Amino acid sequence: MTRAVSTSMRNPLRVSVLDQTPVPEGNTSASALRNSIDLARHADALGFHRYWVAEHHGSPMIAGPSPEVLISAIASSTSRIRVGSGGVMLPHYSALKVAENFSVLAGLFPNRIDLGLGRAAGTDSETAFALQRDRRQRSPDDFPAQLSELLGYLYERLPRDHPFRRLAALPGLPERPEPWLLGSSHQSAIWAAELGLPYAFADFINPAGAEIAALYRDRFTPSRELAEPSLIVAVSAISADENAEAERLAASMRMAITLLRAGSSIAIPTVERALDFLGRHPSPQLLPIGRRAIVGDAGTVKHGLEAVAREYGADEVMVVTITHDHNARRHSYELIAEAFDLEAAPAPAREATATRAA
């Protein structure tokens, strides 16, 4: 159950991981899923606070259409890190089914499961339509009603006359997931504030979100679960031993995002292919306009992440890192953990993790 957050709990800055399960060029989506489990074990040992996995459909770039399935595998493979969705795209699903899925997860992994909820489709309109059970017409945009029903199930607060009230006896009780509302717009901030929910803002999508974060804090109404606003800012970042190497690694992400914005989704290209592409397309109009990535050595990335957190007034920064090479991604998180002096797992837990990975 979400605990009330006091001002004194907001320091030091918490650091977490958002994993979009990128598919490197030349690899399979299945290997990308295994990479996510490996990276989660690593993040757990390094001392990161949370590990969230995203939901995307029909993309050769990202292998993550079922966060609840991946969460189960990750939570089973880790011991202390919180695991959750970043997020479940609620419009695709029944509110009851989402509540049941995450209640089961919470029952299996007490005090470790987060339910990040989003309104976006996580895909194109055609795929979103294919995800519908009833295709006679497109589903209505009733996200506020869906969210209210979902919270009613989770907290056993459906109105007495609600036709599904008896279904709030979820299988994982008394354990509950911690719900978060995700967003990158004013509307999501308003909903999170009105419902007294913690809010996770996607700076890697919209880097102009400081005003939106302020709106969330200004309009926040305390709930039974949360006394004060609680904010995560999710930021794109890549760290390497040297600034030049980090910039080189970032070329893969920059090419992939450039083409995505142009309407073409590809697997994450090799550094060499990406450098060649970016060298042939130097025009700023062809690069990812309106996105921010913090790229450099450990000190540079730490300074940049702290600056973004201050800009948003965030309690926590969630780092999303996309590289072609999985080992480079692992090393990036190692450098960030060291820079923030995260509390690494004791030696026995680290050895156990290595044994499982083998």
Return the residue matching tokens 């040992």. Answer: 45
Does residue 1 lie within any of the structural domains?
no
Range of the domain at 318: 11-132+140-357
| Residue 194 domain flag | yes
Q: Three-state secondary structure along the chain?
A: CCCCCCHHHHCCCEEEEEECCECECCCCHHHHHHHHHHHHHHHHHHCCCEEEECCCCCCCCECCCCHHHHHHHHHHHCCCCEEEEEEEEHHHCCHHHHHHHHHHHHHHCCCCEEEEEECCCCCCHHHHHHCCCCCCCCCCCCHHHHHHHHHHHHCCCCCCCCCCHHHHCCCCCCCCCEEEEEECCHHHHHHHHHHCCCEEEECCCCCCCHHHHHHHHHHCCCCCCCCCCCEEEEEEEEECCCHHHHHHHHHHHHHHHHHHHCCCCCCECCHHHHHHHHHHCCCHHHCCCCCCEEEECHHHHHHHHHHHHHHHCCCEEEEECCCCCHHHHHHHHHHHHHHCCCCCCCHHHHHHHHHHHC
Domain-embedded: residue 2: no
User: Is 166 part of a structural domain of the chain?
Assistant: yes
**Domain CATH for 27:** 3.20.20.30
pTM (two decimals):
0.89
Q: At 319, list the tokens.
A: 């780092």
Is 270 inside any structural domain?
A: yes
In-domain check, residue 82: yes
The answer to whether residue 157 is domain-embedded is: yes
- 212 in a structural domain: yes
Q: Are 46 and 342 in contact (CB under 8 A)?
A: yes
According to the model, what pLDDT value does residue 142 have? 81
pLDDT digits (tens), the chain, 358 positions: 433 333 333 458 999 999 999 999 999 999 999 999 999 999 999 999 999 999 988 889 999 889 999 999 999 999 999 999 998 999 888 999 999 999 999 999 999 999 999 987 656 677 766 776 676 777 777 899 999 999 999 998 888 877 777 777 899 999 999 999 999 999 999 999 999 999 999 999 999 999 999 999 999 999 999 999 999 999 999 999 999 999 999 999 999 998 988 888 999 999 999 999 999 886 544 444 456 899 999 999 999 999 999 999 999 999 999 999 999 999 999 999 999 999 887 754 444 444 344 3
Domain count, the chain: 1
pLDDT of 222 reads: 97
